[in-house]
Amino acid sequence: MKYISELQAVLGDEKLLTDPAELYVYGADWSPRTSDEIHPPDVVVQPKTTLDVQRIVEVAYANGIPVTAGGGLTGMLGGAVSLYGGIYIDTTTMNSIIEIDPKNQTVRVQAGATLQEVNDAVNPYGLWLPHQPESKWVSTVGAAIACDNDSTFGVRYGKILNCLLSVEIVTGSGEILELGHRKAHFTSSGYKLKDLMAGSEGTLGVVTEATLKLEPIPETRIVEMLVFHRMGSAVDYLSRLLRAGVGIEAAHINCKRRLKFYTHAYTAKFGGEAEIPAWAEALLAIAFAGDEKMANAQRDHAIAIAAEFDAELVKEREIVDSWWASKYTLEFEPFKQKWPDVQKAKKFGAADPGVPVGRLEEFYHKFVEVAEKHKLEIIGMNAYLEHPNSIGFSLSCAVFVDYRSADEIRRFRLFHDELSKLAIEFDGTMSTFMSDTHQKAPYLELEHGRSLVYMREIKRLFDPKGIMNPGKKFPREEG
């Protein structure tokens, strides 16, 4: 292909992968898909700098070639899969920590740095990046921005956009732009173009660098788990804690079924599943942080309030520690943790809707109903709290999917679509951490109505030829 020769001329052979066996690896992410749904790109490019990315996009723009940028390929719905071939930009080769500014509590990094690498770099300064998804060891900064994924500590610190001060991108025409407000924490100047990057899936441009806001590392963290008769009671309890002024660092509402997934390490260690009272429909894992005196005071006050909701503390510490290890510390014995071990026969698949605060319990029962209708094995629901210091849900409605069965994958996608549309009926949103990808593109107008016209115009402004990750957000022919 002529354009590959042009890439070799401007970048050199060492930054290009063209062997079919190597390209195949880039043809899928973690989403359930059959073997004939693997979409290898025509060439993989491994840039080192923003100028490298600019040269790549300039070649693509001149030749009308699709460009898909990706990080660790841990997406759950095909967001970084090259549906139409073309060029895949592997940003993991751009993983430098450019500047750590302890006084102003910021860090400047390349997009391919993982969230764990960022924290390893800033830890000696007593600082951390609180945007911490479970995939932090492989989730890159650029990918976190592109899909707007969840964080363990969202109820206190929010999502990646709450940490994102400034971002450098290469647009679909090859222009380098810096969007944001440098090291200031907020601005009322101009339009907030930076915010468009969160959840944009690389359809507006390739993120190459970012300036991120850091926070002081808490001295102490205390994690507890409570069980409730209903999901709604857990929501009401959290509202009561916030009203009381209790500072919550992390909070996750799980249904009873989901506990089995997160306590896989417990099962591996003891040879049996972690058990909670039969009456408990919901579990709330909650963390408190600060100095030792403050963290303990917050924890004690929260436990006292729990009595008002007939909630009980999970007293078996192994269950709590196993859940927290799975969610955050990720300590495990090789091949005895949830991701490789529980997916030997089937894959984890999920819908990621968001619903209003008062309708969580109602939507949970709809999730179970829809999963059973499509004959899918239920993993369970996890309700992440992702809005700082308030209750705002990002839901993981998870099932197991046999990726060897085209029929089961078809049923999973029907399940996913039905829950996404139900969320809109519930006055919610179709996506909260996977972004739209190609799965939701056909019915995006259901959620956004006439505003979709303006979104298309924004897409054309940043990407005049429609080459940036085509097929995501909008069908390809709409550019």
Q: Which two tokens stand for residue 240?
A: 């009561």
Q: Is there a contact between 389 and 251 (Cβ–Cβ < 8 Å)?
A: no
pLDDT class for 13, splitting at 50, 70, 90? very high
Q: Is the pLDDT reported for residue 68 higher than 70?
A: yes
Nearest to 446 by CA among 431, 464, 434, 460: 431
List alpha helices for 325-470, DSSP H: 338-341, 360-373, 406-425, 437-440, 444-448, 451-462
pLDDT class for 479, splitting at 50, 70, 90? very low
pTM for this entry: 0.93
Span 220-339 CATH architecture: 2-Layer Sandwich (3.30)
* Domain boundaries, given as residue ranges, for the chain: 2-92, 94-216, 220-339, 343-436
Q: Which two tokens stand for residue 173?
A: 């025409």
The SS3 of residue 25 is helix
Q: What is the pLDDT of residue 335?
A: 45
Q: What CATH number should be reported for the domain whose range is 2-92?
A: 3.30.43.10
| d(C-alpha 257, C-alpha 261), whole Å | 8
Q: Is the pLDDT reported for residue 188 higher than 90?
A: yes
Q: Which two tokens stand for residue 348?
A: 């984890």
pLDDT exceeding 90 applies to what percent of the chain? 83
Q: Which two tokens stand for residue 391?
A: 């209750």
Q: Is the pLDDT reported for residue 332 higher than 70?
A: no
The neighbour count for residue 139, using CB atoms within 10 Å, is 23
Q: Which two tokens stand for residue 215?
A: 């926070």
Using one digit for the tens of pLDDT, what is the confidence trace for 93-144?
A: 999 999 999 999 999 999 999 999 999 999 999 999 999 998 888 899 999 9
CATH number 3.30.300.330 is the correct assignment for the domain at 343-436: yes
Q: What is the pLDDT of residue 268?
A: 74
Using one digit for the tens of pLDDT, what is the confidence trace for 213-225?
A: 999 999 999 999 9
Average pLDDT for 248-258: 94
| d(C-alpha 1, C-alpha 43), whole Å | 10
The neighbour count for residue 222, using CB atoms within 10 Å, is 17
- For residue 381, with 0-12 CB atoms within 10 Å meaning exposed, 13-18 middle and 19 or more buried, which class applies? buried
pLDDT exceeding 70 applies to what percent of the chain? 96
Strands 347-351 vs 282-290: parallel, antiparallel or unpaired:
unpaired
Q: What is the pLDDT of residue 341?
A: 57
Q: What is the pLDDT of residue 80?
A: 95
C-alpha gyration radius of the chain: 22
Q: Which long-range contacts (CB under 8 A, 24 or more apart) does 450-454 make?
A: none
Q: Is the pLDDT reported for residue 286 higher than 70?
A: yes
Residues with Cβ < 8 Å from 436, sequence gap 6 or more?
A: 199, 201, 430, 444, 472, 473
**Comparing 82-86, 198-202, 323-327, 464-468, which segment has the lowest mean pLDDT?**
323-327
Q: Given this structure, which CATH class describes domain 94-216?
A: alpha beta
Q: Is the pLDDT reported for residue 475 higher than 90?
A: no
Average pLDDT for 294-316: 96
pLDDT class for 477, splitting at 50, 70, 90? low
- For residue 48, with 0-12 CB atoms within 10 Å meaning exposed, 13-18 middle and 19 or more buried, which class applies? middle
Q: What is the pLDDT of residue 135?
A: 85
Q: Is the pLDDT reported for residue 334 higher than 60?
A: no
Q: What is the pLDDT of residue 409?
A: 96
Q: Is the pLDDT reported for residue 259 higher than 90?
A: no
Using one digit for the tens of pLDDT, what is the confidence trace for 339-350?
A: 545 556 788 999
| d(C-alpha 11, C-alpha 119), whole Å | 31
What amino acid is encoded at 181 in this protein?
H
